């Protein structure tokens, strides 16, 4: 059944807990924001299927799928399940990011988002991941959410991964990065 009517009063519950909380709570906000990132990544994954190049031998769609599954672990942990992100996931992202950075000119300034459609979608993914990270951190700082340091590191690296992927997508497509005008 797609509805239960139990949330009609603006309340919900965490995983494995009978205590109800407001849908406006930090936990509900963090979970909703994580879900937004994961859902948008579904579009990125579908759109990336036509791309031929790989990162560390992996297609973009494979990396995005991997990130989505990592986000499910984060969501489970935020919801109170006994799940946490393995530190090896953070190391794997760092390896991918390092490989992408070596394939491009070094960063010397901010860049205007855009270039290719895929780069623009990866930039949106980056900003959504940062927003989700802020929501999880806010819940952690308030004491309402408990997550591991590996989960916090995963959330922090996720936006860096999407930024590197956006830059590399433009680079591989021959699109020059646009520097802000500031005028």
Helix (H, G, I), strand (E, B) or coil at 103: coil
Phi, psi of 160 (to 5 degrees): -65, -40
- Residue 1 above 90 pLDDT? no
Task: Output the pLDDT for position 179.
Answer: 80
Q: What is the pLDDT of residue 21?
A: 58
Q: Which residue has the tokens 């992202």?
A: 93
Tokens of 24: 């406006």
pLDDT for 98: 94
Question: Using an 8 Å Cβ cutoff, are 159 and 130 in contact?
Answer: yes
Predicted pLDDT of residue 102: 92
**Do residues 54 and 67 touch, judged by C-beta distance below 8 A?**
no
Domain covering 25-172, topology = Hypothetical Protein Ta1238; Chain: A; (1.20.1200)
| Tens-digit pLDDT profile for residues 21-65 | 555 578 889 999 999 999 999 999 999 998 887 776 788 999 999
Residue reference for tokens 């900003």: 127
pLDDT band at 163 (very low <50, low <70, confident <90, very high): very high
Domain spans in the chain, listed from the N-terminal domain onward: 25-172
Q: pLDDT, tens digit, for every residue of 113-157?
A: 889 999 999 999 999 999 999 999 999 999 999 999 999 999 999
Other Cβ atoms less than 10 A from the Cβ of 27: the count is 21
**Long-range contacts of 54-60, Cβ-Cβ distance < 8 Å, separation of 24 or more:** 55/96, 55/99, 55/100, 55/165, 55/168, 56/95, 56/96, 56/99, 58/96, 60/118, 60/165, 60/169
Bigger pLDDT: 8 vs 54? 54
Give pLDDT tens digits for 76-97: 999 988 999 999 999 999 999 9
d(CA 65, CA 55): 14
Alpha helices in the chain (DSSP H): 26-48, 60-78, 87-102, 117-142, 149-172
Task: Return the number of other C-beta atoms located less than 10 Å from residue 138's C-beta.
Answer: 14
């Amino acid at each position: 059944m797609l509805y239960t009517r139990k949330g009609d009063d603006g309340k919900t519950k965490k995983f494995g807990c009978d205590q109800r909380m407001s849908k406006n709570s930090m936990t509900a906000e963090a979970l909703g924001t994580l879900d937004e990132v994961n859902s948008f990544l579904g579009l990125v994954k579908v759109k990336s299927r036509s791309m031929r190049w790989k990162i560390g031998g992996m297609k973009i769609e494979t990396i995005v799928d991997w990130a989505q599954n990592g986000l499910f672990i984060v969501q489970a942990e935020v919801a109170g399940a006994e799940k946490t992100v393995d530190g090896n996931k953070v190391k794997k992202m760092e390896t991918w990011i390092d490989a992408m950075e070596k394939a491009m000119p070094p960063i010397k300034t901010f860049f205007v988002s855009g270039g290719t459609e895929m780069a623009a979608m990866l930039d949106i993914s980056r900003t959504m991941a940062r927003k989700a990270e802020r929501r999880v951190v806010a819940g952690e700082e308030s004491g309402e959410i408990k997550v591991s340091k590996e989960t916090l590191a995963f959330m922090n690296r996720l936006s860096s991964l999407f930024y590197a992927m956006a830059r590399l997508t433009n680079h591989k497509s021959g699109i020059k990065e646009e520097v802000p005008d500031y005028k």
